């Protein structure tokens, strides 16, 4: 079992020293360090730390905000850790420790709450979409052709004119013309 640590600060003006000393004091075998915003999805050192994890290893951070930028991000990272048979521990957030039954329970509850929140958002989005449709709002991309252009293009197509010639007139692809329906 190895303690794999991850330390991160957001800007070049900040220092990793305090995090590194806390992680070393906790017994970290290897520390992955980076100076990058937590809002960035591409954090190369975090990727390397996760790739290093083996079964029964523990990924350690000093605080949850050093690891994840949102609950969803945290749960995705913890899922990746668990899929390797590894564990996770936050030194400052003692409840976030998957090496203990209580920690696993807390993170399971957190995952359930995040899933519940996603379902609420999905329901509200669906309701909003239905209200908008009822109020006459057209969903999707704006049509490339106006109703007048559509009628004219259909008339020209029915007269046997080449699709590419019609399309060139309206600056659209020939497949847009071929998909037109009366």
CA 174 to chain centre: 36
State the residue for tokens 């029964």: 56
Give the sign of the dihedral formed by CA 95, CA 99, CA 101, CA 104. positive
Question: What is the spatial distance between Cα 103 and Cα 70, in angstroms, rounded to a whole number?
Answer: 18
- Residue 130 carries which DSSP code? H
> Which of the residues are catalytic?
10
State the residue for tokens 């949850």: 64
Question: What is the spatial distance between Cα 128 and Cα 59, in angstroms, rounded to a whole number?
Answer: 41
Question: What is the spatial distance between Cα 168 and Cα 91, in angstroms, rounded to a whole number?
Answer: 64
60 Rama sector, left if φ>0, alpha if ψ -120 to 50, beta otherwise:
beta
């Amino acid at each position: 079992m190895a303690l794999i640590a991850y330390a991160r600060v957001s800007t070049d003006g900040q220092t990793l020293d305090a995090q590194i000393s806390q992680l070393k004091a906790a017994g970290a075998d290897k520390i992955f360090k980076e100076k990058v915003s937590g809002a960035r999805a591409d954090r190369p050192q975090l990727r390397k730390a996760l790739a290093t994890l083996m079964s029964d290893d523990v990924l350690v951070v000093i605080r949850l905000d050093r690891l994840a930028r949102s609950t969803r991000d945290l749960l995705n990272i913890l899922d990746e850790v668990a899929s390797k048979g590894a564990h996770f521990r936050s030194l400052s957030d003692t409840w976030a420790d998957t090496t203990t039954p209580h920690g696993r329970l807390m993170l399971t509850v957190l995952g359930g709450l995040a899933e519940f929140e996603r379902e609420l958002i999905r329901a509200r989005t669906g309701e909003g979409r239905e209200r908008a449709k009822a109020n006459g709002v057209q969903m999707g991309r704006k049509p490339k052709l106006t109703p007048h252009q559509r009628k004219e293009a259909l008339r020209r197509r029915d007269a046997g004119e080449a699709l590419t010639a019609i399309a060139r007139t309206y600056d659209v692809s020939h497949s847009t013309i071929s998909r037109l329906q009366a």
